[in-house]
């Protein structure tokens, strides 16, 4: 039987209550909105890109504890990483929360607390919403977003 | 001295012996994550009694053939059973004639049928379709599609903080431009029972027809379409202990007669040449293709099951449960009800301070308690209350006070996890 505490680990609860980088970075030049129509979770991920590198990242929005904590810890993880590195971490994170075999999850670091999500398939979308939004922000719109 | 049997706590109801009812529903014996199943997601779909399951099995075991076609024995039996289902549905909503009952895949298809077959003839550029702020997406989107196609406008009757229609605003919105009013009898997200009879009378005073979405009403209220005087009434079997994929549209005979067909195909015609097709008479004109005969057998069994208990008794039991649940849940800290109309049926929608409904849903599920979390296909209702989602517990004939207590224990567990 899946254990609730595996899903709602202290670190996750703590991040959901006090999310990090819960703001629009001053130098933001990319953004994307992520929405899960099934549950109404909605986040905007903001990036300040310096060439191919995430110089700063923030997010805003509303969602469940899993989605919010995931967004919060994602911002900590990808800050300073290149586009390719961020993409690779997402692939590993995706494998982790969907319970797929994965190798070299040492890069996941603190994100390993999300391993319990794999026991709750209905919550995979919650854990990955911010990451999909990040991918959209990284890949999609190259146009400058007005900070006005 | 005669000792009266002491019923276990979960069986207590002032209306009937719930344990006997529960024994009719095999799925209620399930265990979920090591707990007895507490099924409180009835507004999404109800569970099915053995009588309904048996009716479907019996249909395929002894009556299956295509209807309205063959001259052989089974075709005749299947046709008779199908039409008997129509008569059962007619009596269930007290329609004047069985030909006023069109079988559909459910409420959604019934509303789409009206929006397309009736709407495309009667709604034009500059006209208005009037719905309400508490509609399910299935009573919004078909009208939106029609309005977009015709250049008509969708107008919305607002609701107050309790989740009741503001009738003064409704009066103001009715105008010569209004071609149809469409509203829920009971709101799926809020539980509000709308004063449909009054709303119909107000629309009729200006010659405007009214469609009623009865999906959430038929399981809980004895519906009399002649008393309501509505022009269309749509409902599904699966929310009233019947199978999925079958439902019905009631429509006044004169309206049905004048409407063009919805879909073309077999069964809806009386003769076809490449030059011209003559349509079948109503209601068959609206039932193209081989219908869900087993579904109709299941719907008939569900109607018989409800009548066997008594719709009024079911309503009384659920009302008692709703009152108990309201009191029990409100006694918990940080719980706020969404939908506090004076007239409510069977739905307890709520939010818990600082905890997202989805997290509540997962934790309750681990306790064996099934509730719906989300926007309940009524996003505009969520927007009205500035919330992304709610937790919805909805009750049926087989639910007990002990299950409400399990819900309350589950919410306390949620609060412990998030403390």
Report phi then psi at B104, rounded to 5. Answer: -135, 180
Q: How far does the CA of residue B41 sit from the closest CA of chain A (Å)?
A: 16
- List the beta bridge partners of residue A61: A43
CA-based nearest residue in chain B for residue A35: B388
A25 within a domain of the structure (yes/no) = yes
State residue B244 phi and psi, 5-degree precision: -80, 160
Region of B409 please: left (phi>0), alpha (psi -120 to 50) or beta. Answer: alpha
> H/E element holding B151?
none
The pLDDT value recorded for residue A103 is 61
Which DSSP string corresponds to chain A? ---HHHHS-HHHHHHHHS-TT-S--TT--EEEEEEETTTTEEEEEEEEEETTEEEEEEEEEE--HHHHHHHHHHHHHHTT-BHHHHHHHHHHHHHHHHT---S-GGGGGGGGGGGGGGG-GGGHHHHHHHHHHHHHHHHS--SPPP--
* Pairwise CA distance, residues B242 & B316, whole Å: 20
Residue A148 forms part of a structural domain: no
Is residue A52's pLDDT more than 60? Answer: yes
Task: Report the CATH number that the domain containing residue A76 is assigned in CATH.
Answer: 3.90.1010.10
A41 in contact with chain B, both atoms CB, cutoff 8 A:
yes
A65: contact with B, CB 8 A cutoff: yes
Q: Is residue A130 part of a domain?
A: yes
Q: Does A1 touch chain B (CB under 8 A)?
A: yes
**Contact across the interface for B362 and A120, Cβ inside 8 Å:** yes
In this structure, is residue A145 part of a structural domain?
Answer: no
Q: How confident is the model at residue A147 (pLDDT cuts 50, 70, 90)?
A: very low
Residues of chain B with CATH 3.90.1150.10: 9-32+310-417
Q: Pick A104 or B244 by higher pLDDT.
A: B244
Partners of B374 on chain A (C-beta within 8 Å) are 38-40
Rounded-to-integer distance, Cα B287 and Cα B104, Å: 8
Domains contained in chain A, number? 1
- List where CATH 3.40.640.10 sits in chain B: 52-308
Is A147 part of any domain?
A: no
* Whole-prediction pTM: 0.92
Nearest CA in chain A to B413: A4
Quote the domain boundaries for residue A131: 4-139
B44 contacts in chain A (CB < 8 Å): none
Model pLDDT, residue A71: 97
In which band, very low, low, confident or very high, does the pLDDT at A39 lie, cut at 50, 70 and 90? confident
The CATH number of B52-308 is 3.40.640.10
Q: Could you tell me the CA-to-CA distances from B249 to B110, B171, B214, B328, B369 in Å, in that order?
A: 5, 27, 10, 38, 33
Rounded Cα gap, residues B220 and B383, in angstroms: 27
Mutate to test the interface with B, among A13, A37, A39 (most CBs of B within 10 A): A39
B366 contacts on A by Cβ (under 8 Å): 2, 4
Looking at the predicted structure, is the pLDDT value of residue A143 above 70?
no
Residues of chain B contacting residue A2, judged by C-beta atoms under 8 Å apart: 33, 366
Where b means 16+ CB within 10 Å and e means fewer, B368-379 reads bbbbbbbbbbbb
DSSP string, B70-96: --SHHHHHHHHHHHHHHHHHHHHTT-S
Q: For position A139, what pLDDT does the model report?
A: 85
Residue A21 domain flag:
yes
Q: Please check whether residue A51 lies inside any domain of the structure.
A: yes
Dihedral pair phi/psi, residue A82, rounded to 5°: -85, 170
pLDDT of residue B71: 86
In B, what residues contact A, Cβ < 8 A? 33-34, 354-359, 362-363, 366, 373-375, 379, 382, 388-389, 417-418
What whole-number distance in Å separates Cα of residue B363 and Cα of residue B417?
9
B386 included as an active-site residue: no
The pLDDT of residue A148 is above 90: no
Task: List chain A residues with CB under 8 Å of B354.
Answer: 17
Whole-number average pLDDT of chain A? 88
* CB nearest B356 (choices: A4, A65, A120): A65
DSSP B260-321: PPSS-STTSEEEE-SS-EEEPPTTGGG--S---HHHHHHHHHHHHHHHHH-HHHHHHHHHHH
Local mean pLDDT, 10-residue blocks, chain B (419 residues): 43 79 98 96 98 98 90 93 98 98 98 98 98 97 98 98 98 98 97 98 98 98 98 98 98 97 91 91 95 98 98 96 97 96 96 94 96 90 90 98 98 94
**Helix, strand or coil, per DSSP, at residue B107:** helix
Q: Confirm or reject contact between A35 and chain B (CB < 8 A).
A: no
pLDDT of residue A102: 63
Q: When comparing pLDDT for A100 and B411, which is higher?
A: B411
- List the single residue in B355, B389, B417 with the smallest CB-CB distance to A4: B417
What's the CATH code, domain B9-32+310-417?
3.90.1150.10
Domain-located, residue A123 = yes
Nearest Cα to Cα of residue B46 among B187, B235, B219, B239: B239
Q: How much is the pLDDT for B25? A: 98
Split at pLDDT 50, 70, 90, the class of A141 is low
Residue A145 has pLDDT above 60, yes or no: no
Identify the residue among B33, B141, B359 best suited for mutation to test binding to A, counting A beta carbons within 10 A and taking the highest.
B359
Q: Find out whether B230 and B196 touch, Cβ atoms under 8 Å.
A: yes
């Amino acid at each position: 039987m899946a254990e609730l505490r595996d899903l709602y680990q202290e670190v996750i609860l703590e991040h959901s209550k006090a999310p990090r980088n819960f703001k629009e970075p001053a130098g933001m030049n990319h953004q994307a909105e992520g929405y899960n129509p099934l549950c109404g979770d909605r986040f905007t991920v903001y990036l300040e890109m310096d060439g191919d590198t995430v110089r700063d990242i923030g997010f805003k929005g509303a969602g469940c504890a899993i989605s919010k904590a995931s967004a919060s810890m994602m911002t900590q993880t990808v800050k300073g990483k290149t586009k390719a590195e961020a993409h690779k971490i997402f692939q590993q994170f995706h494998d982790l929360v969907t319970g797929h075999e994965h190798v070299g999850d040492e890069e996941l670091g603190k994100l390993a607390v999300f391993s319990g999500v794999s026991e709750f398939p209905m919550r995979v979308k919650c854990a990955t919403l911010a990451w999909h939004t990040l991918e959209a922000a990284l890949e999609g719109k190259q146009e400058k977003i007005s900070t006005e | 001295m005669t000792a009266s049997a002491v019923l276990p706590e979960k069986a207590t109801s002032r209306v009937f012996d719930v344990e006997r009812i529960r024994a009719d529903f095999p799925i209620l014996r399930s265990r979920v994550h090591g707990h007895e199943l507490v099924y409180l997601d009835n507004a999404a779909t109800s569970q099915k009694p053995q009588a309904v399951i048996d009716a479907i099995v019996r249909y395929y075991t002894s009556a299956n053939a295509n209807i309205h076609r063959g001259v052989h024995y089974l075709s005749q039996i299947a046709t008779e059973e199908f039409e008997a289902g129509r008569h059962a549905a007619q009596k269930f909503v007290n329609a004047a004639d069985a030909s006023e009952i069109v079988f559909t895949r459910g409420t959604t298809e019934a509303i789409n049928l009206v929006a397309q077959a009736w709407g495309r003839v009667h709604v034009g550029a500059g006209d208005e379709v009037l719905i309400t702020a508490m509609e399910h997406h299935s009573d919004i989107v078909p009208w939106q599609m029609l309005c977009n196609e015709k250049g008509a406008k969708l107008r919305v009757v607002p609701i107050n903080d309790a989740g009741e229609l503001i009738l003064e605003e409704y009066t103001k919105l009715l105008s010569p431009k209004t071609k149809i009013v469409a509203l829920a009898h009971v709101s799926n997200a809020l539980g509000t029972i709308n004063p449909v009879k009054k709303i119909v009378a107000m629309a009729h005073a200006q010659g405007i027809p009214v469609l009623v979405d009865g999906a959430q009403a038929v399981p809980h209220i004895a519906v009399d379409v002649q008393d309501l005087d509505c022009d269309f009434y749509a409902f599904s079997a699966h929310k009233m202990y019947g199978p999925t994929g079958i439902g019905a549209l009631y429509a006044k005979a004169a309206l049905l007669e004048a409407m063009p067909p919805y879909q073309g195909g077999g069964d809806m015609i009386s003769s076809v040449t490449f030059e011209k097709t003559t349509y079948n008479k109503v209601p068959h004109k609206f039932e193209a293709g081989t219908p869900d005969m087993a579904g109709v057998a299941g719907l008939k069994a569900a109607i018989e099951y409800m009548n066997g208990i008594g719709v009024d008794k079911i309503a009384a039991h659920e009302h008692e449960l709703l009152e108990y649940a309201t009191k029990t849940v409100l006694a918990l800290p940080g719980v706020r009800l969404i939908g506090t109309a004076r007239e409510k049926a069977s739905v307890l929608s709520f939010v818990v301070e600082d905890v997202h409904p989805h997290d509540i849903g997962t934790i309750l599920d681990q306790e064996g308690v099934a509730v719906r979390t989300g926007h309940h296909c009524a996003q505009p209702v969520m927007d009205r209350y500035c919330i992304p989602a709610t937790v919805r517990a909805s009750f049926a004939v087989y639910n007990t006070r002990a299950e409400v207590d399990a819900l309350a224990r589950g919410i306390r567990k949620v609060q412990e996890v998030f403390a």
